[in-house]
Structure 1
């Protein structure tokens, strides 16, 4: 078999090698969506991805018999380390992620090297996989291997989960669920009555965002998000640089009628963000924009026609959480976006998530609109 050698990387050529390996190892998986190559490289490049501004990151490649046969990242997010431990992260917690390996022995050698790096940096606990921020692609897929992920969600082979479990010392820390539903059907009568009741309340206003005021609207949504999610497990606040970076990436797929802001007595108190599933457009491209795919993508972005809409983010200010008003605002936003998705984009399927397994409020909303869990991502933990 040959000795497995794990080497740290740092050059641009090595980063490209790191990125390219995923395309080779996942080429035969019909449900893997090749990311645009330029974005995949940007993700792992200091100075391009603002995650590096508050994190120590090391990438490793595994080589055997002169071939590159695996990869992994190890990282310490100093914002996450500074959070309250009851929220999942906290002092002494590091991460590994972006695992790709030809077989179990290679995967175990990579994980051991990532753990050693974290231990050398003073970490006493690992949460993994995390690729790389909690806001990117957290968790190992453990249910839903039979269909592709939606935009900004991960997809890993089932054997990678087997590799993690075979180590024997990783335990599930948290499950992240996504929910799917048929959006061509009206919601149950009870939900319709709740929406209609809200429409009669003069204190409630549900409005579209205004993309012509993108920066202002983005700042408003992130303000609500930081308040709404601040006590959630895994929460790490966005930096100003990350806000600008996310805005630049989101803007091409943001549409006024797919993002709602709820106001109560004139105050913005909730939002719901929905994105057309970009993965449907880029999956056939194999990660390449040139020579002609960029034209196809530009045409698609102008007026997406999609099967699936994804709700990646939704939040209600803490002062209203656990109130009947919070769920009413949520149902109103979901219903209005459901209508727009079907009428304006031809969508037939919705996906909500990820949602923490123990987020009772969001799980109750997902159940009430008769959605079902279609994918589960598991975040594992281990004492170092």
Structure 2
């Protein structure tokens, strides 16, 4: 007799622990899965510690058999996403699922169905996922690149998940790409000439961020980001509350020579953020800072030596996009950070992304510096009937 799979909303500290721990059990045999710090995962799902909840609501679910967790999921609605133009991917009626993990198909079906029902009861007519939790955190399901470990703040998922999600009636809505390159190699001569030309242009100033003015520099970057990305698929503006929380989380990873702001005629118009790959430091800790993990991490953060660097965000103000100036500023920032990454941190590879597969400007830049796609993520979509329990 088959044991019934039961799904319930989580409640209380014991459920939160079970929700978090499930991912460690299901992925423990994957040599390329990097166990995140449990404290970071707990902070992500805690409304008191994640500014995203200031404009969103979420319900977390666990599926169990005989009291044993076998799947988990989040169902969430982002009020700012509802306000975006539908042609940009989100808009009215859009809900999301995320934080998806499942032991088998039956468990996957159970939690996906429960998430859809929760969203439908709140008027949702379309579900996108996985998005965990914000589109600025870990969007998409890994469908290519399972053979190597992810870098900091990138997801890694079991290969069978794609088939299970598609079997529930979901279809790909958007592809996200990451590109990798050998940062020890000089860029092609034409790129070097573009950079040299920019260095002779008195209108251009590319500078490091000043960590002593962290809040001010973060505000500059946020202003450029919300302008530069505002027409992109899936754009949701970052709020001050989110920036404050992300700032607390990422400040230890902020190194002044790895984050650049480009100014044109004295006005900030572009930025590039690069992070040393924290995953290299936390992979051996199995998600725990105790008893000695915290000391090892603190030592690493003083001046990390890493193999990989990740560029999670870069942007140029909208009025310069598609111009030669935009490309020139981008190449200058990339080159200055490449030099520092190699000489000061011992990096040998860089990873850029995620990048929307139809973002022609960023894809062209990635191609020009001879990088190649190494990972692909899919965000899936499915229509549902608002107010009804969806049975697939």
User: How far does residue 49 in structure 1 lie from its aligned partner after superposition?
Assistant: 1.5
Which residue matches 1:320? 320
Which residue matches 1:311? 311
Which residue matches 1:367? 367
Write the distance in 1 (CA, Å) between the matches of 2:333 and 2:52: 31
Matched, 1:53 2:19: no
Q: Output aligned runs, 1:74-223, within 5 Å.
A: 74-167=75-168, 169-223=169-223
User: How far does residue 10 in structure 1 lie from its aligned partner after superposition?
Assistant: 2.3
User: How far does residue 50 in structure 1 lie from its aligned partner after superposition?
Assistant: 1.8
Write the distance in 1 (CA, Å) between the matches of 2:250 and 2:83: 27
Matched, 1:227 2:234: no
User: How far does residue 47 in structure 1 lie from its aligned partner after superposition?
Assistant: 1.4
User: How far does residue 46 in structure 1 lie from its aligned partner after superposition?
Assistant: 2.1
Which residue matches 2:265? 265
Contact 2:93 2:123 in 1 (8 A): yes
Write the distance in 2 (CA, Å) between the matches of 1:52 and 1:191: 42
Q: Deviations over 1:16-71 (max 9, x none)?
A: 11011111111111111111111111111221222222112111100112311111
User: How far does residue 12 in structure 1 lie from its aligned partner after superposition?
Assistant: 2.0
SS at match of 1:301: helix
Write the distance in 1 (CA, Å) between the matches of 2:102 and 2:170: 18
Which residue matches 2:65? 64
Write the distance in 2 (CA, Å) between the matches of 1:10 and 1:358: 41
Moved more, 11-20 or 188-197: 11-20
Which residue matches 2:387? none
Q: Deviations over 1:294-330 (max 9, x none)?
A: 1110010000000000000000000100000000000
Contact 2:135 2:236 in 1 (8 A): yes
Aligned-pair Cα RMSD in Å: 0.8
Write the distance in 2 (CA, Å) between the matches of 1:63 and 1:13: 14
Write the distance in 2 (CA, Å) between the matches of 1:41 and 1:20: 11
SS at match of 1:290: coil
In the TM superposition, structure 1's runs of 4+ consecutive aligned residues that sit over 6 Å from their partners are: none
TM-score, normalization: structure 2? 0.97
Matched, 1:30 2:31: yes
Contact 2:179 2:375 in 1 (8 A): yes
Contact 2:130 2:139 in 1 (8 A): yes
Write the distance in 1 (CA, Å) between the matches of 2:156 and 2:208: 31
User: How far does residue 355 in structure 1 lie from its aligned partner after superposition?
Assistant: 0.2
User: How far does residue 86 in structure 1 lie from its aligned partner after superposition?
Assistant: 1.1
User: Unmatched 5+ residue regions in structure 2?
Assistant: 385-392
User: Unmatched 5+ residue regions in structure 1?
Assistant: none
Matched, 1:254 2:254: yes
SS at match of 2:92: coil
User: How far does residue 130 in structure 1 lie from its aligned partner after superposition?
Assistant: 0.8
Write the distance in 2 (CA, Å) between the matches of 1:283 and 1:363: 30
User: How far does residue 14 in structure 1 lie from its aligned partner after superposition?
Assistant: 0.9
Moved more, 310-319 or 15-24: 15-24
